[in-house]
Structures are given as C-alpha cells and as structure tokens.
Amino acid sequence: MLMISIPLATLLFSVWLAPSKRLWEIITTQSLIIAIMSTTWLMTQGVNPFLSSYFFIDEVSSPLLVLTCWLTAPTLLASQSKLSKEPLPRQRTYIFTIIMLQITTLLAFLADNMILFFIMFEATMIPTLIVITRWGAQKERMLAGTYLIFYTLFGSMALLTAMLYFHETFGTMSISLMKSFFINNTLTSCSLAWWAACLIAFLVKMPLYGVHLWLPKAHVEAPIAGSMILAGTLLKLGGYGILRINIFINDSFLPLAAPLIVFSLFGVLLSAILVSRQTDLKSLIAFSSVSHMGLVIAASVMKTEWSIAGSMILMVSHGLVSSALFCLANTSYERTNTRTLILLQGTQIIFPLTAAWWLLAALMNLALPPSPNFIGELSILTSLFQWSNLTLVMTGLGIIFTTAYSLYMFWASQREHLPSHLNFFPPMQTREHILLALHILPALLLMLKPTLMFK
C-alpha cells in the first residue's frame, strides 16, 4: 500500500510545487511510474489481501486498480495540448482535480467495508462534475452535469437505505467477512425491494439501457480527460459494485434476475442499433459503451464462474479500448473543430499511422479474435447460452450490429474523399502516438495472458 500511496501523495504536492515550464512532464512521468509500480498488484492476489483494517486487494479489485493507475498518465497526456495554453493556476487545478478523481476511484476499489465503498463511490461524482462543468467545451455542459447528479443521486439513496438495513440485520458490511457467511433471505416483498435497491445505483452507473441518458450527454460535453476517465474507470465502478453486492445476496434471488438479464440483453441490441444512427463521433462511442456494459450487467447478476471471469475481462479491455477511441476522436476534433462524422472522412490519406490506430481500436471494439474483448464476450456468451438457449437470438443480433457500427465508425472517419473545406491539418505529434500506444499495446499484451484479469 505504501508503495503506491507515497508516490500518489508526492504527485499531489508536485502539482502545486513543480516549475511551470516542466509541469506536464513531471506530472506525467510520476503518474507513469505509479502505473508501472501498480502492476505488482496483479502478482499479489490472494497472498496477503489485507492492506489495513479498511482496505484490501483481491482477484476482483486488482485488475481494476491497475487499470485506474494506468489510465492516469494517458489522461494527462491527452489534455496537454489544449490545457497548456490556459493560465497556470487553471492548469494546476485541472491536474489536481483529475488526480483526486483517480485517487477516490482507487479508494473505492480498495474498500473492504461497503459503507466506505459507498462514500468513495459518491465522492467520485464531485471531481467528475467539476471537470465537466468547468472545462467542458460546449454550452450545454451545465445540463450534462445536472443529468449526471440527478441520475446518480436517484439510485444512490436507495442503495444507502439498503446497506443500512443490511447492517442493522446482520451487524456487518465487511466484504471479506461476508464471504464466509451464509445469508438466508426468504423471498418476500420487502426482500425484493431490498434486492432492487442494492442494484439500482450500480445499474445507473454502468449504465443500464433506459437509465443511460446521462452518459452520452456527459461524454459529449466533457473534455477529453472527463470522457477517458468516464469510459475507462468510472463505468467499471458499477460492474465492480454489482460483483461486490452479490456477496450479500444469496442464490434464492437468482430467479428475480431473469427479467433484468433479458432487459439488459435487449439494451445491448437497442443501443447497438442506436449507435448506427449517430452523427456525432463522441456520442457514437458513448452509446457503444452502453451496449458493452449491458453484457457485463447480464454476466454479473448470473453469478457463475465463467460469467464473472468474462465480465472482469470485458471491463478491463473495454476500459482500454473505449478510452483509446475517445483519444482518437479528440485528435480529429483538435484539427477540424467538429465531431460530425460526415466532415471527418478521408483523413487516412493524410495520417496513415493514425488510421492504423483507428483500425486496431475498431477491431478490438468489435471483439475480433483473439483480442481481450473477444475472450470476455465469449465467456459471457457461453454462460448466457447455458442459462437459456433463447439468448442466442439477442446476443447474435447484438454482435452483428456491434460489428456493423464499429466498421461504420472506422469507414466514416477515415475512408472516402477528404472534404474540400479542410485545407490545413497540423501533423500528428509523437505525444499522441505514445498516448495511443499506452492504450493499445497493453490490450495486445493481455492477449498473451488473459488470466491476469481474473483468477
């Protein structure tokens, strides 16, 4: 724990003490060192999980902790070109807010007590809201912040009530302690309401189709760092929460999960169809996250070994690939000042290496074998077929539409003829290629040993 907490504390001080000329270089280097050090958490699963009486690491939290640390440096790299032109105090405040957001996310993944997890889960909203409303480029950023707050608060009040009721009944909210307990809940109207209250906050956070309207709004209005963190780590808090709350819910509630699984699979299909109709590039990538997270929801509530392993792999790989897609969208936006797909076509002629990054990210997004997305989706689909053969229809259609919109995204943004109004394109920078390599290369390396993402 000290190996990461001391560098993180140093990083917070460096934001205010680093000289202005070397601010971005120092902060990015420090965050990269922290990311490399955090990979040791993948090797210590189950050896000595308790860091203190309040924090612990196990096979569920360690891949998501490493993902959170890893995405901090790319987040700062992606923001550098635009933020470096702003006044120095504003740059320092921005970096400090991003780091605080990542620290609260890390503490949420580390928490052993569900009440502490809930506090950190909600604390992530404050820096997220600041980043969207203070640094968002569009005039509707305040509306996006309002959507985010009200959707989150709506689900969180029910979750807090459910946790307090559970603590009153069983006397503990410790995750590690509850693993050895046998909870015997009878199916009554009260227990049904409690089960729904436990899940609703995480379903909003994922988000489940139907309570997803805050996500495209937040992505479109947020700066690049906000979009990357939202897609990379904050959505994973929802999936992590469902996996954790499963410990407190015994198998007698599994019949209640059937409508939720069916609805989430319909959400995968409907959001995949919606993606095909998007004209805004960031909105398209945001809706694709809704489609992928629908599979994670269905897998998490099934509670089988294959489904939980598949949901972990899909969450980690989606965090890398989706964040890379937002970085690519930002490189186009910085040069054209538009996110409309019809105005972005033809850039493969000018930037062939960037088009190669686009192709790799699009192929991983559509789960091309043997990418981590494919391994995760295959594990989930195997579990779904074992649960019901009828899921073959919905998941098959979902895969077809996912392939269609991923290829459409690549074709619409890279192929065809270059629009005549785009006369000047600044060349791609080495910083941007490093940024994309930090996303794509780990995803490629995970193909060699996918068991790092689950045990």
pLDDT at 441 over 90: yes
In the chain, what percentage of residues exceed pLDDT 70? 95
Smallest CA-to-CA distance from 37 within 49, 48, 29 is with 29
Tell whether 218 is covered by a domain.
no
Tokens of residue 423, six digits: 């006369």
Tell whether 392 is covered by a domain.
yes
Other Cβ atoms less than 10 A from the Cβ of 64: the count is: 25
Residue 34, CA distances (Å) to 72, 73, 99, 128, 367 in order: 9, 9, 12, 22, 29
Q: Which of 316-325, 389-398, 427-436 has the highest mean pLDDT?
A: 316-325
**How many Å separate Cα 321 from the centre of its chain?**
10
Amino acid letter at 40?
Answer: T
Amino acid letter at 351?
Answer: F
| pLDDT attached to residue 185 | 65
User: Tokens 């390599």 label which residue?
Assistant: 437
58 vs 315 pLDDT, higher one: 315
**Distance (Å, whole) CA 164 – CA 211:** 24
Other Cβ atoms less than 10 A from the Cβ of 241: the count is: 24
pLDDT at 139 over 90: no
| pLDDT attached to residue 178 | 77
| pLDDT attached to residue 187 | 66
Q: Are 272 and 291 in contact (CB under 8 A)?
A: yes
Apex 221 CA angle, 350 and 149, nearest 5? 150
Tell whether 146 is covered by a domain.
no
| pLDDT attached to residue 2 | 67
Tell whether 445 is covered by a domain.
yes
| pLDDT attached to residue 451 | 80
Spell out the alpha helix ranges (H) of 84-140.
88-110, 114-123, 125-135
Q: What is the mean pLDDT of residues 141-151?
A: 87
How many CA within 13 A on the CB side of residue 185? Answer: 22
Phi, psi (degrees; rounded to nearest 5) at 55: -125, 145
Tell whether 56 is covered by a domain.
no
Q: Are 444 and 368 in contact (CB under 8 A)?
A: no
Mapping DSSP to helix (H, G, I), strand (E, B) and coil, where does residue 111 land?
A: strand
Predicted confidence band of residue 51 (pLDDT cuts 50, 70, 90): low
DSSP per residue, 374-432:
HHHHHHHHHHHHHH-TTHHHHHHHHHHHHHHHHHHHHHHHHSSPPPTT----PPPPHHH
Lowest mean pLDDT among 11-15, 68-72, 134-138: 134-138
**Distance (Å, whole) CA 108 – CA 112:** 9
Smallest CA-to-CA distance from 371 within 340, 411, 347, 402 is with 402
Average pLDDT, the chain: 86
Cis peptide bond upstream of 255, omega within 30:
no
Q: Which of 93-97, 112-116, 278-282, 346-350 has the highest mean pLDDT?
A: 93-97
pLDDT at 182 over 80: no
Q: What is the mean pLDDT of residues 60-84?
A: 89
| pLDDT attached to residue 100 | 93
317 vs 7 pLDDT, higher one: 317
| pLDDT attached to residue 106 | 92
Domain that holds residue 430: 250-454
210 Cβ neighbours under 8 A, 6+ residues apart = 263, 267
255 Cβ neighbours under 8 A, 6+ residues apart = none
pLDDT tens digit sequence for 191-246: 788 888 888 989 998 888 888 888 888 888 888 888 899 888 888 999 999 998 88
pLDDT at 26 over 60: yes
| pLDDT attached to residue 113 | 87
Tell whether 142 is covered by a domain.
no
Q: Are 322 and 355 in contact (CB under 8 A)?
A: no
Q: What is the Cα Rg of the chain in Å?
A: 21
Smallest CA-to-CA distance from 101 within 120, 77, 87 is with 120
Instruction: Provide the number of structural domains found in the chain.
Output: 1
Tell whether 207 is covered by a domain.
no
Q: What is the mean pLDDT of residues 92-116?
A: 91
pLDDT tens digit sequence for 210-222: 888 888 888 888 8
Predicted confidence band of residue 60 (pLDDT cuts 50, 70, 90): confident
Tokens of residue 250, six digits: 């015994």
Predicted confidence band of residue 389 (pLDDT cuts 50, 70, 90): confident
**Distance (Å, whole) CA 361 – CA 357:** 6
Tokens of residue 282, six digits: 């960031």
Tokens of residue 117, six digits: 């997890």
Lowest mean pLDDT among 1-5, 163-167, 256-260, 372-376: 1-5
Apex 49 CA angle, 377 and 322, nearest 5? 30
Tell whether 325 is covered by a domain.
yes
Predicted confidence band of residue 183 (pLDDT cuts 50, 70, 90): low
